[in-house]
C-alpha cells in the first residue's frame, strides 16, 4: 500500500499554523492593548511634566514678627495672583488647641509624638469668607484658635521639634504645585529656602500692639492693651530665640516695613515684586 505521506502531516501542519495564528492574534491584541496603555501613560506623564516646567507659578514666602499684617498681605496677594494662601501659624495654633483640649503634656516627647498621630489638619476654602479656613480633625477651628488662651501657649508649642517637623512636612506638600503664598516665621528660611520671592515684614512695636489690640478687642472687649503688649513681646522673644528654626530674615528676603504704609500701598509694592519674579521665571 502506498503510503500517503501527506495525510498525517497535513492536519498536523494545519494544527500548528492554526495554533500559531491564534496565539499571534491573541498576543497581538494583548500587547497592542498594553502598548496603548503604556503609551497613554507616557504621554500623560510628559504632558504633566511639560505643564509643570512651563508653569510660571512661584512660591511666595512672608515671614516676620507677630502682628505685622503678614496674613492680610498674604491673603490679598494670593487673591490678586489667583494663588493659594496658607496661614502656617494657624497650623501651630490648631495643634496648640488640640494639646490644650486633650491635656497633652508637651514637656513629654512621648506624649507629643502620640498626640500628633491623632491630629489631622486641613485647609478648606470658604467662599463666604473668601478665605482658606483651618480644620482640626474635621472641625472648623479658624475662629477659636485666635483666642488669647491659645495665643498664650502657641509659641511654646511651636518651639517643639516634633511639632515643627510635623507641620513643615505638611507645608512642603502644600507647596509642591507652586502657586502659593505662605506666611509664618520660618517659611523662607526652612520650609521653602528656594522660594522665588521672600518677604520679611516688620513694623514699629507700638503700631503692632495697637493693631493687634484693635483686632482682638472686636472679638473680646475684656482684653487689655497691656495684656496684648505682653503677649506680643513674649511671642517675639520665644519665636526668635528657640532652638529649632528661629524667626530670622532669610538672606535673600526683601524687607517690608509697613509702619507708615496703608494696606493698599504695601500690596502694590509686594504685587510688583511678585510680578517681576513671575516674569523672570517666564523668561528663563
Work out whether 64 is an interface residue with ligand DC (CB under 6 A).
no
Work out whether 155 is an interface residue with ligand DC (CB under 6 A).
yes
Of 271, 235, 250, 221, residue with least CA distance to 65? 235
The stretch near ligand DC (CB under 6 A) out of 72-80, 136-144, 173-181, 185-193 is: 185-193
CA atoms within 13 Å, Cβ hemisphere of 67: 24
Work out whether 104 is an interface residue with ligand DC (CB under 6 A).
no
Of 220, 59, 58, 71, residue with least CA distance to 144? 220
Quickly list DSSP for 164-193: HHHHHHHHHHHTTT--EEEEESSIIIII-T
Taking CB under 6 A as the criterion, the residue among 77, 112, 154, 250 binding ligand DC is 154
For the bound state, the minimum distance from the C-beta of residue 150 to ligand DC, rounded and expressed in Å, comes to 9
For the bound state, the minimum distance from the C-beta of residue 156 to ligand DC, rounded and expressed in Å, comes to 9
The stretch near ligand DC (CB under 6 A) out of 50-58, 124-132, 180-188, 201-209 is: 180-188
How many whole angstroms separate alpha carbon 54 and alpha carbon 216? 44
Of 272, 128, 258, 141, residue with least CA distance to 201? 258
The stretch near ligand DC (CB under 6 A) out of 7-15, 106-114, 136-144, 184-192 is: 184-192
Say if CB 258 and CB 67 are below 8 A apart.
Answer: no
Work out whether 86 is an interface residue with ligand DC (CB under 6 A).
no
Work out whether 187 is an interface residue with ligand DC (CB under 6 A).
yes
Work out whether 175 is an interface residue with ligand DC (CB under 6 A).
no
Work out whether 198 is an interface residue with ligand DC (CB under 6 A).
no
How many whole angstroms separate alpha carbon 269 and alpha carbon 191? 24
Work out whether 132 is an interface residue with ligand DC (CB under 6 A).
no
Of 51, 57, 121, 132, residue with least CA distance to 93? 121
> What residues between 208 and 237 interact with ligand DC by CB under 6 A?
235
Which residue, 154 or 270, has its beta carbon nearer to ligand DC? 154
Say if CB 169 and CB 89 are below 8 A apart.
Answer: no
Helix (H) or strand (E) holding 62: strand 59-64
Work out whether 131 is an interface residue with ligand DC (CB under 6 A).
no
Q: Which residues bind ligand DC (CB under 6 A)?
A: 66, 88-89, 92-93, 154-155, 158, 184-187, 235, 239
Amino acid at each position: 500500500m502506498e503510503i500517503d505521506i501527506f495525510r498525517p502531516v497535513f492536519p498536523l501542519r494545519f494544527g500548528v499554523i492554526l495554533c500559531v495564528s491564534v496565539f499571534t492574534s491573541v498576543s497581538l491584541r494583548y500587547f497592542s492593548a498594553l502598548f496603548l496603555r503604556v503609551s497613554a501613560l507616557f504621554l500623560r506623564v510628559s504632558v504633566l511634566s511639560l505643564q509643570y516646567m512651563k508653569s510660571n507659578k512661584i512660591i511666595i514666602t512672608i515671614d516676620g514678627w507677630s502682628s505685622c499684617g503678614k496674613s492680610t498681605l498674604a491673603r490679598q496677594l494670593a487673591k490678586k495672583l489667583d494663588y493659594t494662601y496658607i496661614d502656617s501659624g494657624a497650623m501651630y495654633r490648631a495643634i496648640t488647641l488640640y494639646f490644650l483640649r486633650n491635656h497633652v503634656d508637651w514637656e513629654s516627647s512621648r506624649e507629643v509624638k502620640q498626640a500628633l498621630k491623632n491630629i489631622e489638619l486641613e485647609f478648606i476654602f470658604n467662599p463666604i469668607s473668601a478665605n482658606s479656613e483651618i480644620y482640626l480633625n474635621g472641625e472648623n477651628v479658624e475662629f477659636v484658635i485666635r483666642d488669647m488662651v491659645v495665643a498664650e501657649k502657641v509659641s511654646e508649642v511651636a518651639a517643639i521639634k516634633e511639632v515643627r517637623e510635623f507641620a513643615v512636612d505638611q507645608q512642603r506638600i502644600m507647596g509642591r504645585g507652586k502657586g502659593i503664598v505662605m506666611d509664618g516665621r520660618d517659611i523662607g528660611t526652612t520650609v521653602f529656602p528656594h522660594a522665588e520671592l521672600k518677604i520679611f515684614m516688620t513694623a514699629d512695636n507700638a503700631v503692632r500692639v495697637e493693631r493687634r489690640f484693635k483686632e482682638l478687642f472686636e472679638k473680646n472687649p475684656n482684653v487689655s492693651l497691656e495684656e496684648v503688649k505682653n503677649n506680643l513681646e513674649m511671642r517675639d522673644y520665644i519665636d526668635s530665640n528657640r532652638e529649632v528654626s528661629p524667626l530670622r530674615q532669610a538672606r535673600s528676603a526683601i524687607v517690608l516695613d509697613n509702619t507708615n504704609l496703608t494696606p493698599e500701598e504695601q500690596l502694590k509694592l509686594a504685587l510688583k515684586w511678585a510680578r517681576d519674579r513671575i516674569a523672570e521665571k517666564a523668561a528663563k
